[in-house]
Chains A and B, each alone.
Chain A
Amino acid sequence: MSDTVGIVIVSHSKDIAKGTADMVRQMVGSEVKVAYCGGNPDGGLGTNVSLIIDAINDAWSSKGVAILVDLGGAETNSEMAVEMLEQERRKMVVVCNAPIVEGAVMAATEAAGGSSLEQVRAVAEELSAG
């Protein structure tokens, strides 16, 4: 079986991140790797670059990783996490411009069919395109 694009969910809230990951696993299945992170180390709201890097590593696939984020800092911290990866892995990770829950489910559905990272991103972003 060929590898599928991995999905990373980054929310300010660990509960939202976990709930979104649960939805993806239940709706799409287990053939797509899904990792999530949310909250700051004190248990409050926030996002954290090193936790995002861990999640990217957990969801890593030879086809790359698509990240879904919620608000502001989740996006900038995700971009920072990508910048901190080894150079050859950076271009294999994208931050999708899509609503976190819907985007994650649709990206994972597309990924499950073996699609490329660009196709997965395009499907997730189709939602914001209206």
Chain B
Amino acid sequence: MLETSANEPFVTGKVRLLHAAGMHARPAVKLTKLAKRFQAQISIRASETADWINAKSVAKVMAMRAPRDSTIEIKAHGEDAEAAVAALISLVAADFPEASA
């Protein structure tokens, strides 16, 4: 699921959103909190939508309103970009477990 493009220093990944209610408030808070642990610049978007949003902005992540079964694309660049993308993918893939802190 993790792929690195040779031409640009971005690490990208994709993951299916399983959560029954989609990207609502609690998942958004968890995703943002996790993203903030990394130095990398991290952007996400719901697949097929035009705009990348800052994964560290809780207001923007909540406002994306991605529905269940949509695919979330993640891209990051910076020193720990690979770890950041991997961590976010496992958070979403595990359906935002309670004990993620």
Contacts and interface: CB of A to CB of B under 8 A. Distances in A.
A112 B25 contact: no
Interface residues of A, dominant DSSP:
helix
B33 A105 contact: no
B29 interface: yes
Interface stretch (A5-13, A23-31, A38-46, A61-69): A23-31
B29 A123 contact: no
Which of B29, B32, B56, B57 has most A Cβ within 10 Å?
B29
Nearest to B36: A113
Interface string A101-123: 00001100110111100000001
Contact of A113 (B25, B37, B59): B37
B101 interface: yes
A114 B101 CA distance: 14
A113 B29 contact: no
Which of A109, A110, A113, A114 has most B Cβ within 10 Å?
A109
A22 interface: no
Contacts of A15: none
Contact of A112 (B26, B33, B57, B59): B33
Contacts of B32: 109
Nearest to A109: B58
B29 A27 contact: yes
A28 B59 contact: no
A105 B37 contact: no
Nearest to A28: B29
A114 to B, nearest CB: 8
Interface of A: 27-29, 31, 105-106, 109-110, 112-115, 123, 126-127
27 contacts: A27-B25, A27-B26, A27-B29, A29-B101, A31-B101, A105-B25, A105-B58, A106-B58, A106-B59, A109-B29, A109-B32, A109-B33, A109-B58, A110-B58, A112-B33, A112-B36, A113-B33, A113-B36, A113-B37, A113-B56, A114-B36, A115-B36, A123-B57, A123-B58, A123-B59, A126-B59, A127-B59
Given A106-B58, A109-B58, A123-B57, 4 more contacts: A105-B58, A112-B33, A113-B33, A123-B58
